[in-house]
């Protein structure tokens, strides 16, 4: 399944590994001509939901950032994975991954880090490449890409941001002035982030350079409420809570039964779930999972993911929602000496942050997997992506039936007319109409318009629907 | 002028220096809530011109790239500036900048690099900070940000791309399949690039992390033509050619008189000039400048910039157009061993590349400078950006006249109706209508709609135009 999709993605210019001519580098992918359009459409669905409809602001900050930012956030000291190298062949492994693949049961009883370190000594783990059990002493490996900013004596250490979030917190005081000193307000950023993963081997589900769409809501800790819960409260969802209990119920029931403590959290889980189904994912593949107490960041009071049940990768985290309290602004206040306090009705406090953190590449893959269709055999076989109109790389394809009798001229006129409205439209005049339908299906174009002799006579065209193959004048 | 604009930009959340709470880092800026909208609109103007109208493809590639890419392109060996450090206070300087500011005439007679090195010894140059003439021996400083990809023994050197162009060339063979083996075709990429400038001190005109929109046309060297020249040939332009000769003439005349050799070059200079006036820049501030033979890259046969005559920064290069020949694809073919040749009608050759390379941050600044307006004194004083509708951060602002008698409810309905069409709309109910107009003007909103008692009666609203201040029902 995943192989078929990825083969199609490479062949049709949707996505493909980067730097192939130089042997590649794992964890990097190019979005090709078709993939870019789909990706931008996914981003625009989120932009529309959060910026236009919810009134969030958008910012765009640098990805290269001075070290102090990540000292404050805790990333310099703690954003690490345990790494072990095979003593024989030199292959590097993220220890956690090796354990999960080879001895998952050994992780359960004692603290994770200790359990993993002991496993290396025990000889129960082996190199995936050369099978040697001689693995080097595990050490903490920082996942941030390091660089240097500036020249000569002004040189300072910098990192590529591992998340957009911190770059949103830094200008909090400026944003506070822009919103004219009112809470709550939300700030979104869509952009690249970077994690120097030890040995990523999961396609675009684990990238070293990836796109995030993060929304940070700055809130009064005494007023973590929403007025919009009713918009999503009837939504039925699958839930796995922090105690491992599964349930399917409406968000309203989940709040009532205290499966989800905060109505605000339930609201945002609903908005995210809706965003994913708008992208074309099957609702029954989605699951809301609460982080266990031992996996949640120490400063967060509650964290949930929305996951997609992928055939290729298992449960894939697509968005994380977290009540980050006043931790981040507090840390930056401490390290920078600049006040992050606000004064509302006589109360002085550091605002709390409620975070909604989307990946874009993972929903991109999950959308493709969820909308992939195939039917028929031999000559009749066809494959297509049943992408929603808003997500499709082209809104429509325009085909001249034949290459003569002024039909291409007429088709070209219609093509230019559609394009002049700012629409992405494909023009294709090569091969039989059947082949052109097949090519359009493969990249998920929802409708094809064929210009024929009737068009010249009475301006009617044949419109063919991707999913049903029905044609109508 | 520049100070006024930048003060307004900071105050209203258009753009502001990054990492201010940690003392900043020169060459990095945040786009705030208003700036992001304007920036995205500038990008969309180019996307519409090149991708929708001209049929180019768009791609999105990583910014972190393995070293080999930049060995092939020549950046590892040659993408350098001469750097000198003050022996007394340690301040670093780009030598060229120091010479240009202090002894520009000394650069004219002999080769640039030698002239500059001699000046350091001569004592004619001094530190801008401490005035010492004891400057260190100049050395070549590579402008790429360096990092490391991967862990342990798989670790390899990487660089942040100093241009998007090379990342477009790498997957040429894949793109060649996607376009079904036809020339010419164009590929655009809009994304961040990085140059570790020695001491950038020119706001967003010289950034260390910046946005580019580059279009690479892959062409048959025997067919570097365009069929669309007539669309721009009547455009009157200011030209400074490589011999230093200035002229004002139409693009058609420029080609006829061989001031511009290649009609294709003239066409793209016209398209770029039109893009800039669409962004709101005054046409008389634009100049087409041809690179001198001694400044042009050795592989390029001809290079032109479109510049904007800025009050603050002098002539600012906003886009570079260059016939790069088969240099880039040839270099990657050589280093990777992968063929970049195509076979068309029995001829085998490496395609040529014609490049159109836009910055986004510079046109952003130039647009603001060109559309900045102020009038009146005291109470009547107002400032505004006369931004074209397509560029404005919000299409319209909606104001309820008063906060009572169901007027806010009606205004809110209209606001939601506009927003549901996917439009960026501002809602503002704070302060007098005059103050709200002033705030909307400062961020360039073209029209304000006021909802009053008449709206409740007969659904009429008052629309006020930003530039003329005229109001109509």
DSSP secondary structure string, A332-353?
HHHHH-----EEETTEEEPPEE
Q: What residues form DSSP beta bridges with A305?
A: A289, A320
First to last CA, chain A: 36
Residue of B nearest to A148 (CA): B145
**pLDDT score of A98 more than 80:** yes
Helix, strand or coil, per DSSP, at residue A409? helix
At residue B297, what are phi and psi to the nearest 5 degrees? -55, 145
> Can you tell me the mean pLDDT for A302-307?
97
Asked if the Cβ–Cβ distance from A90 to B148 is below 8 Å, we say no
Distance from CA of A428 to the nearest CA of B (A): 11
> Can you tell me the mean pLDDT for A145-172?
96
What residues in B contact A61, CB-CB < 8 Å? 18, 30-31
Asked if the Cβ–Cβ distance from B141 to A148 is below 8 Å, we say no
Asked if the Cβ–Cβ distance from B52 to A149 is below 8 Å, we say no
Mean pLDDT for chain B?
Answer: 95
> Can you tell me the mean pLDDT for B306-318?
97
Residue of B nearest to A194 (CA): B64
Point out the residue among A13, A30, A146 whose CB comes nearest to the CB of B147: A146
Q: How far apart are CA A314 and CA A295, in angstroms?
A: 19
How high is the pLDDT of residue B373? 97
Helix, strand or coil, per DSSP, at residue A49? helix
**pLDDT score of B189 more than 90:** yes
How high is the pLDDT of residue A422? 93
Point out the residue among A19, A153, A170 whose CB comes nearest to the CB of B66: A19
**pLDDT score of A109 more than 70:** no
Q: What angle do CA A421, A427, A429 make, to 5 degrees?
A: 155
Residue of A nearest to B53 (CA): A419
Point out the residue among B31, B39, B64 whose CB comes nearest to the CB of A209: B64
Distance from CA of B242 to the nearest CA of A (A): 33
Mean pLDDT for chain A?
Answer: 95
What residues in A contact B68, CB-CB < 8 Å? 19, 22
Q: What pLDDT, in 10s, does the model give residues B256-281?
A: 999 999 999 999 999 999 999 999 99
Distance from CA of A263 to the nearest CA of B (A): 24
Name the DSSP letter for residue A132. Answer: -
How high is the pLDDT of residue A115? 81
What's the complex ipTM?
Answer: 0.96
> Can you tell me the mean pLDDT for A334-341?
97
Q: How far apart are CA A30 and CA B57, in angstroms?
A: 13
What residues in B contact A199, CB-CB < 8 Å? 150-151, 154
**Token pair belonging to A169:** 């917190």
**Token pair belonging to B465:** 């135009």
Q: What angle do CA A225, B37, A181 make, to 5 degrees?
A: 40
Residue B117's pLDDT band (cuts 50, 70, 90): confident
At residue B374, what are phi and psi to the nearest 5 degrees? -145, 150
Q: How far apart are CA A184 and CA B113, in angstroms?
A: 56
Asked if the Cβ–Cβ distance from B63 to A209 is below 8 Å, we say yes
Place of tokens 């790498």: B170
At residue B459, what are phi and psi to the nearest 5 degrees? 65, 20
> Can you tell me the mean pLDDT for A205-224?
97
Point out the residue among A18, A26, A178 whose CB comes nearest to the CB of B32: A178
Point out the residue among B32, B209, B424 whose CB comes nearest to the CB of A64: B209
Q: Which of B67, B147, B336 is most worth mutating to test chain A (most A CB atoms within 10 A of its CB)? A: B147
Residue A202's pLDDT band (cuts 50, 70, 90): confident
Q: What pLDDT, in 10s, does the model give residues B166-178?
A: 999 999 999 999 9
Among candidate residues B460, B222, B212, the one with its CA nearest the CA of residue B346: B222
Asked if the Cβ–Cβ distance from B69 to A145 is below 8 Å, we say no
Asked if the Cβ–Cβ distance from A66 to B173 is below 8 Å, we say no
Q: What pLDDT, in 10s, does the model give residues A23-58?
A: 989 999 999 999 999 999 999 999 999 999 999 999
What residues in B contact A141, CB-CB < 8 Å? 151
**pLDDT score of A191 more than 60:** yes
**pLDDT score of B70 more than 60:** yes
First to last CA, chain B: 36
Name the DSSP letter for residue A86. Answer: B
Q: How far apart are CA A119 and CA A420, in angstroms?
A: 63
Q: How far apart are CA A262 and CA A352, in angstroms?
A: 14
**pLDDT score of A119 more than 70:** yes
Asked if the Cβ–Cβ distance from B178 to A33 is below 8 Å, we say yes
Point out the residue among B64, B92, B199 whose CB comes nearest to the CB of A145: B64
> Can you tell me the mean pLDDT for A158-171?
98
The model carries a pTM of 0.97
Asked if the Cβ–Cβ distance from B209 to A63 is below 8 Å, we say yes
How high is the pLDDT of residue A121? 87
What residues in A contact B430, CB-CB < 8 Å? 180
Residue of B nearest to A149 (CA): B196
Task: Please indicate whether residue B99 or residue A185 has the higher confidence score (pLDDT).
Answer: A185
> Can you tell me the mean pLDDT for A290-319?
94
Distance from CA of B137 to the nearest CA of A (A): 12
Q: Kindly report the number of other CB atoms within 10 A of residue B92's CB atom.
A: 18
Distance from CA of A259 to the nearest CA of B (A): 33
How high is the pLDDT of residue B108? 66
Contact between A98 and A141 (Cβ < 8 Å): no
Q: How far apart are CA A306 and CA B88, in angstroms?
A: 58
Distance from CA of A36 to the nearest CA of B (A): 6
How high is the pLDDT of residue B297? 87
**Token pair belonging to A125:** 């783990």
Point out the residue among B53, B171, B177 whose CB comes nearest to the CB of A419: B53
Q: How far apart are CA B325 and CA B301, in angstroms?
A: 7
Distance from CA of A66 to the nearest CA of B (A): 8
Asked if the Cβ–Cβ distance from A151 to B198 is below 8 Å, we say yes
Provide, rounded to the nearest whole percent, the portion of chain A with pLDDT above 90.
Answer: 88
**Token pair belonging to B312:** 């603050």
Nearest-10 crossing angle of helices B263-278, B33-47: 150
Among candidate residues B273, B247, B267, the one with its CA nearest the CA of residue B255: B267
How high is the pLDDT of residue A110? 56
**Rg, chain B, Cα only:** 25
Q: Kindly report the number of other CB atoms within 10 A of residue A383's CB atom.
A: 15
Residues in CB range of A320: below 8 A, 6 or more apart: A303, A304, A305, A355, A356, A357
Q: How far apart are CA B237 and CA B307, in angstroms?
A: 11
What residues in A contact B31, CB-CB < 8 Å? 59-61
Q: What is the enclosing helix (H) or strand (E) of B69?
A: helix B67-73
How high is the pLDDT of residue B104? 78
Residue A101's pLDDT band (cuts 50, 70, 90): confident
How high is the pLDDT of residue B451? 96
Q: How far apart are CA B201 and CA B97, in angstroms?
A: 11
Residue A118's pLDDT band (cuts 50, 70, 90): confident
**pLDDT score of B1 more than 80:** no
Contact between A399 and A433 (Cβ < 8 Å): yes
Q: Which of B64, B81, B216, B393 is most worth mutating to test chain A (most A CB atoms within 10 A of its CB)? A: B64
Asked if the Cβ–Cβ distance from B59 to A30 is below 8 Å, we say yes
**Token pair belonging to A338:** 């600049």
Residue of B nearest to A174 (CA): B13
What residues in B contact A171, CB-CB < 8 Å? 16, 18, 20, 30, 32
Distance from CA of B147 to the nearest CA of A (A): 5
How high is the pLDDT of residue A1? 64
What residues in B contact A147, CB-CB < 8 Å? 145-147, 160
**Token pair belonging to A398:** 């325009």
Q: What angle do CA A331, A334, A340 make, to 5 degrees?
A: 80
Task: Please indicate whether residue A108 or residue A363 has the higher confidence score (pLDDT).
Answer: A363
Residue A267's pLDDT band (cuts 50, 70, 90): very high
Find the DSSP H helices in A21-111.
33-47, 67-73, 75-78, 95-102
**pLDDT score of A116 more than 90:** no
**pLDDT score of A86 more than 90:** yes
> Can you tell me the mean pLDDT for A71-89?
95
Contact between B273 and B235 (Cβ < 8 Å): yes
How high is the pLDDT of residue A201? 84
Q: What pLDDT, in 10s, does the model give residues B395-427?
A: 999 999 999 999 999 999 999 999 999 999 999
Asked if the Cβ–Cβ distance from A141 to B151 is below 8 Å, we say yes
**Token pair belonging to A259:** 């499966």
How high is the pLDDT of residue B111? 62
Asked if the Cβ–Cβ distance from A167 to B68 is below 8 Å, we say no
Provide, rounded to the nearest whole percent, the portion of chain A with pLDDT above 70.
Answer: 99
**pLDDT score of B110 more than 60:** no
Residues in CB range of A469: below 8 A, 6 or more apart: none
Q: How far apart are CA B54 and CA A150, in angstroms?
A: 39
Beginning with the edge strand found earlier in the chain, give each strand of the sheet holding A246-250 in spatial order: A57-58, A185-194, A209-219, A352-359, A314-325, A302-310, A286-290, A236-240, A246-250
Distance from CA of A311 to the nearest CA of B (A): 26
What residues in B contact A52, CB-CB < 8 Å? 419, 422-424
Distance from CA of A348 to the nearest CA of B (A): 20
Asked if the Cβ–Cβ distance from A167 to B18 is below 8 Å, we say yes
Asked if the Cβ–Cβ distance from A92 to B152 is below 8 Å, we say yes
Among candidate residues B468, B469, B464, the one with its CA nearest the CA of residue B398: B464
At residue B387, what are phi and psi to the nearest 5 degrees? -75, 140
Distance from CA of B259 to the nearest CA of A (A): 33
> Can you tell me the mean pLDDT for A168-193?
97
Lowest mean pLDDT among A111-115, A162-166, B83-87, B461-465: A111-115
Residue B112's pLDDT band (cuts 50, 70, 90): confident
Asked if the Cβ–Cβ distance from B33 to A177 is below 8 Å, we say no
Distances (CA, A) of A334 to A138, A328, A329, B137, B387: 33, 10, 9, 41, 41
Asked if the Cβ–Cβ distance from B33 to A178 is below 8 Å, we say yes
How high is the pLDDT of residue B109? 58
Distance from CA of A322 to the nearest CA of B (A): 23
Asked if the Cβ–Cβ distance from A92 to B53 is below 8 Å, we say no
Asked if the Cβ–Cβ distance from A151 to B177 is below 8 Å, we say no
Task: Please indicate whether residue B208 or residue A201 has the higher confidence score (pLDDT).
Answer: B208
Distance from CA of B12 to the nearest CA of A (A): 6
Residue B380's pLDDT band (cuts 50, 70, 90): confident
């Amino acid at each position: 399944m995943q192989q078929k999709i990825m083969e199609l993605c490479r062949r049709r210019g949707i996505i493909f590994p980067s730097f192939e001519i130089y042997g590649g580098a794992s964890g990097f992918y190019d979005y090709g001509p078709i993939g870019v359009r789909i990706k931008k459409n996914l981003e625009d669905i989120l932009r529309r939901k959060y910026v236009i409809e919810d009134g969030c602001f958008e910012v765009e900050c640098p990805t290269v950032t001075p070290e102090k930012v990540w000292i404050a956030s805790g990333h310099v000291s703690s954003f690490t994975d345990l790494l072990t190298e095979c003593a024989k062949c030199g292959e590097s492994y993220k220890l956690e991954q090796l354990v999960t693949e080879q001895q998952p049961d050994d992780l359960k009883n004692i603290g994770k880090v200790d359990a993993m370190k002991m496993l290396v000594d025990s000889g129960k783990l082996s190199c995936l490449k050369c099978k040697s059990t001689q693995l080097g002493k595990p050490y903490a490996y920082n996942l941030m890409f390091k660089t240097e900013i500036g020249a000569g004596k002004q040189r300072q250490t910098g990192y590529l941001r591992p998340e957009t979030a911190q770059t949103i917190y830094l200008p909090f005081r400026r944003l506070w002035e822009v919103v004219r000193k009112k809470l709550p307000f939300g700030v979104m950023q869509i952009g690249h982030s970077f994690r120097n993963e030890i040995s990523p081997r999961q396609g675009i589900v684990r990238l070293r350079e990836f796109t995030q769409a993060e929304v940070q809501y700055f809130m009064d800790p005494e007023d973590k409420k929403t007025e919009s819960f009713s918009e999503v409260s009837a939504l039925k969802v699958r839930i796995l809570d922090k105690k491992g209990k599964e349930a399917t119920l409406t968000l309203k029931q989940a709040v009532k039964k205290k499966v989800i403590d905060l109505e605000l959290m339930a609201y945002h889980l609903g908005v995210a779930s809706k965003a994913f189904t708008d992208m074309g994912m099957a609702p029954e593949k989605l699951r809301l999972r609460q982080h266990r107490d031992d996996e949640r960041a120490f400063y967060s009071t509650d964290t949930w993911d929305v996951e997609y049940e992928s055939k290729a990768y298992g449960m894939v985290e697509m968005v994380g929602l977290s009540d980050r309290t006043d931790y981040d602004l507090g840390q930056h206040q401490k390290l920078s000496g600049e006040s992050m306090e606000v004064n509302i009705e006589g109360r002085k406090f550091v605002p709390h942050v409620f975070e909604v953190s989307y990946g874009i590449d993972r929903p991109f893959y999950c959308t493709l997997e969820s909308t992939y269709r195939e039917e028929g055999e031999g000559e009749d076989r066809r494959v297509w992506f049943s992408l929603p109109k808003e997500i499709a790389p082209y809104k429509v394809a325009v085909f001249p039936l034949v290459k003569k009798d002024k039909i291409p001229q007429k088709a070209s006129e219609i093509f230019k007319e559609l394009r002049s409205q700012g629409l992405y439209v494909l023009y294709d005049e090569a091969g039989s109409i059947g082949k052109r339908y097949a090519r359009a299906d493969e990249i998920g174009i929802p409708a094809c318009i064929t210009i024929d002799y009737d068009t010249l006579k009475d301006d009617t065209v044949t419109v063919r629907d991707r999913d049903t193959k029905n044609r109508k004048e």
